[in-house]
Homo-oligomer: A and B are copies of this chain.
Amino acid sequence: MSEDIRKILDGVQRGSVSVDDALLQLKTKPFEDIGYAKVDMHRKLRQGVAEVIYGAGKTPEQIMGIIDVMKKNGQKTILITRLSAESAERVREKHPMEYYAEARCGVIGEIPKADGLGKIVVATGGTSDVPVAEEAAVTAMVLGNEVVRLYDVGVAGLHRTLAHLEDIMNANVIIAIAGMEGALASVIGGLADCPVIAVPTSVGYGASFGGLSALLSMLNSCASGVSVVNIDNGFGAGYLASMINHPKNVEK
């Protein structure tokens, strides 16, 4: 943004931009207001990613409206998260879209070729954590990453975890997803030599308190290199994993 300010100021100095226009540009340029949402047009430039629409709490009409603006602005690939099957059907009437039912994600446009530094491993403690894992996996794929899925490798059956030691050792980033006691993050964190993003899930009952147990467990992980995102936040984990897998200063 620093550069943007400089450019506008340069224009003002050269006289090609009036003061009022400059003021206006500084304030209003980066997004388009379509009433129910401010569609953010600068985000891709700023953060280097495909556009994402958070579908929860939006009507199919609102989602389609945002897609329209994005396409009009030249966006190729669009990811819609937390998209119900019903809404997906509505959206598909107007826009061709791949719908990933378990991940509850829709993808418009091509999934790009994987161009990250290495592989992203998505591991879950149990079968019930898979929807969150799929949200993470689809997000990472849409953002140009190769994904390895290791599902149902919870630590109560340690041999199942260890059977995938090679994948764990070779990963560039690992997303460890678990409900209940959330121990998966610590065990994988102790085995791996790459960043581990822990995602607590709301899977469980009783004293799991909607994911609080796994969340606290993961925050207290005694393994180094582990950080945590919100409960059930598969998207956030996939997005961050892709960022780590695409560092800025690397020539490819």
Contact = CB atoms under 8 A, between A and B. Distances in A.
A189 interface: yes
Given A191-B158, A233-B206, A249 B117 contact: yes
B48 A19 contact: no
A206 B202 contact: yes
A221 B13 contact: no
Q: How many copies does the complex hold?
A: 8
Contacts of A30: 157, 159-160, 163
A228 interface: yes
Contacts of A157: 30-31, 38, 40, 43, 190
Contact of A228 (B9, B180, B187, B219): B219
Contacts of A211: 206-207
Contact of A186 (B56, B181, B193): B181
Interface residues of A, number: 117
A240 interface: yes
B1 A169 contact: yes
A26 to B, nearest CB: 7
Interface stretch (A86-94, A103-111, A122-130): A122-130
Contacts of A193: 46-48, 248
A165 interface: yes
Nearest to A216: B213
A114 interface: no
B155 A190 contact: yes
Interface in A46-86: 46-49, 52, 56-58, 62
A137 interface: no
B158 A248 contact: no
A120 to B, nearest CB: 12
A239 B219 CA distance: 15
5 contacts: A47-B193, A58-B127, A182-B220, A207-B231, A220-B230
Given A56-B128, A207-B219, 8 more contacts: A13-B19, A31-B160, A57-B203, A58-B127, A118-B249, A181-B219, A182-B220, A213-B217
